[in-house]
Amino acid sequence: MGAFAQRSLVALQNRFKLDQYLDSPRTYMASALHIGPLPLDGRAFLAPMSGITDHGFRKIARRFGASVVVSEMVASDEFVKGDAEYTLRAEGEGITPHIVQLAGCDPRWMGEAARLAQANGADVIDINMGCPAKRVTGGYAGSALMRDLDHALTLIEATIAAVSVPVTVKMRLGWDDASHNAAELARRAEAAGAALVTVHGRTRCQFYKGHANHAAIAPVKAAVSIPVVCNGDVETIEQARAVRTLSGADAVMIGRAALGRPWLVGRIARGLEGADPGDPSRAAQAEAVIEHYESLLTAMGEKAGLRHARKHLAASLDHLSHEGTRIDASERAAILTGEAPGQIITTLRALYARPPELLAA
C-alpha cells in the first residue's frame, strides 16, 4: 500500500472513531435556546478570536458539538472593499449556523458589510463591541464604543436595518471599573432589535488580566429578555455550570481554552446537558489537529499556513504534555519550526499514538 493510500485509510479509521464519539447518546435541554428564530442544539459557544477561529477551526469545533461558532472579527469597510484577508475570515461553507462578526465605527460600512455577509450565506451577524486591542479601539471600534452608547446604537440600528437575519452584540462590562454600562447597552440593543448579547466579564482596561467578574453580568441578564451569553475564564464543565449560576446567563462562551483543542467547546456543551463525555480518543484528536493544519495550508498557501498554524500546534502539544505524553525538545522543534508538512503530520501522528505516562501526584 502506498503512503498516500495508507494515510487515507488511517484518516478514515480515525474519522469513524470520531463519528462514534459524536453519535453517542445525548440528552438535550428541555427548552432550546434560540437566536431570533434559529434554534440552537446546546449552550456552549466558541468565541470569535482573531488569528484563531478561522474557517477550518470553526468547522471542526462545530462538528465536535460546539453549539455556536463565530468567525474571526471582520473589519466592515475592508470586507466591503473586497480585502482578501477579511473575505477569508467571513467564510462559512459547511457551518450551520454561520455567524459573521463585524467590527467598525461607521454605520454605512456596518450596514453594507452586514448586507454582503448575508448575501454570502451568513445566518447571523454579530457586532463586535468588546475587542480591547489598541489597533481596534484606536479606530473607535470594538470596546471603545462602550464610551459612547449613542454612537454604538447607531451602528446596531444600521446593521439591523440592512439585513433580515438576526443580529447579536458582543460587549464587555464597560470601558473601566468606573463605567460598568453593559446592562444599559444591552437594554438599548434589545430595544433596537438585537436577538442576543454576549458579555465578557472584564472591562476593556483589564484586557485579559485578572479574573472575569461573572457576577457582574447578572444585571445585564436582569435588564433584558433576550438571551445573554457569559464569556471569560471558562475552561471546564464545572466552571461553565458555576458561571451560569453566578451570572444567570443562558449560555457560556469559551475562548482561549479551546486553542489547540477544537473538541473542548463541544465537550462542555454536552457536559451542560448531562454527564461529562470526556475527550475524544487520541486518534480522533490527532485527526482533528491534522485536518485543521491541512486546512490552513490550503486556505492560506503553504508559507503563510505554516506560520499561522504554529500557535495552534504549540497549544496542541502543550495539551498533550499536560495529559502525560512525553514530547522531547527535538520533536517539538520539528513540528513548530519544520517546513515539510508531510513530516510534521507524521510526527504529530506518532505523538498522539504515544501512550501517556503517569503524571506525578
**Secondary structure (3-state) at 329:** helix
Say how many C-beta atoms besides its own lie within 10 A of residue 259's C-beta: 20
Grid cell 440600528 in the structure block, residue: 157
Nearest CA among 151, 147, 158, 226 for reference residue 194 = 226
Residue 214 near residue 193 (C-beta atoms within 8 A): no
Q: Which residues pair with 230 in a beta bridge?
A: 199, 252
| C-alpha cell of residue 320 | 498533550
Paired sense of beta strands 124-129 and 228-231, if any? unpaired
**Secondary structure (3-state) at 151:** helix
Nearest CA among 34, 48, 39, 37 for reference residue 171 = 48
Nearest CA among 135, 147, 139 for reference residue 171 = 147
Distances (CA, A) of 194 to 41, 161, 189: 20, 11, 5
Paired sense of beta strands 38-39 and 34-35, if any? antiparallel
What are the DSSP calls for 263-323, one per residue? THHHHHHHHHHSS---PPPHHHHHHHHHHHHHHHHHHH-HHHHHHHHHHHHHHHHHHHHHT
Active site residues: 131
Secondary structure of 56-73 in HEC code, one letter for each residue: HHHHHHHHCCCCEEEEEE
